[in-house]
Structure 1
Amino acid sequence: MKNEDILKDLLGTKTENQRMYNEFMIKSRNPELRKLFLDLRDDEMRYISELQQKIEKLEAKPNILSHVFSTRLNN
């Protein structure tokens, strides 16, 4: 499994967690619980942003095979 695939799986999990915490926050009537779910949701949102940036960087890097093949095609 490639690094991008692992990060994308983790991104999916974090996105689902963020959605779940948001739903719990909306449904909760207890102010302390609402604050807890709000904080957890915001933490997940930060992780999601970091993961998206890491995935973009990994996908932007050309791998060695694409470099070798593009060099051979250009010669």
Structure 2
Amino acid sequence: MKFTKATIIASAAAMSLGLAACDSAAENEAEENIEEMEDARDNQVDAMEEAGEITEDQADAIDDQTDAMEESMEEQADEIDEM
């Protein structure tokens, strides 16, 4: 399966929108979903790198972006829980 950078970004954006709709009772589920999104995105990036579609440096940059997105979304989930 071929994944483009746009597909990866779109999936992360959709996940972010889903997180925004969560209420405090669903914080644990939101964090689990965030972890699943991160794992899926990491797998997509690894597959793209192995297929030669992106370089190691590009994969590292996307991985860094994924980590930053995960951290941001988890902070949002914590803030929602505090409301």
TM-score under structure 2 length normalisation:
0.48
1:40 paired to 2:62: yes
Q: Where does residue 13 of structure 1 map in the other structure?
A: 37
Structure 2 Cα separation of the partners of residues 10 and 47 of structure 1: 13
Q: CA deviation at 1:13?
A: 1.7
Q: Where does residue 64 of structure 1 map in the other structure?
A: none
What's the % identity of the aligned pairs?
Answer: 2
Greater C-alpha Rg: 1
Where do 5+ consecutive residues of structure 1 fail to align? 62-75
1:51 paired to 2:73: yes
Structure 2 Cα separation of the partners of residues 40 and 46 of structure 1: 10
Q: Where does residue 73 of structure 1 map in the other structure?
A: none
**Aligned residue-pair number:** 54
Q: CA deviation at 1:60?
A: 1.6
Q: RCO greater where, 1 or 2, for CA within 8 Å and sep 6 or more?
A: 2
Within 5 Å, which residues of 2 pair with 1:19-30?
19-20=42-43, 21=45, 24=46, 28=50
Where do 5+ consecutive residues of structure 2 fail to align? 1-17
TM-score under structure 1 length normalisation:
0.52
Runs of 4+ displaced beyond 6 Å: none
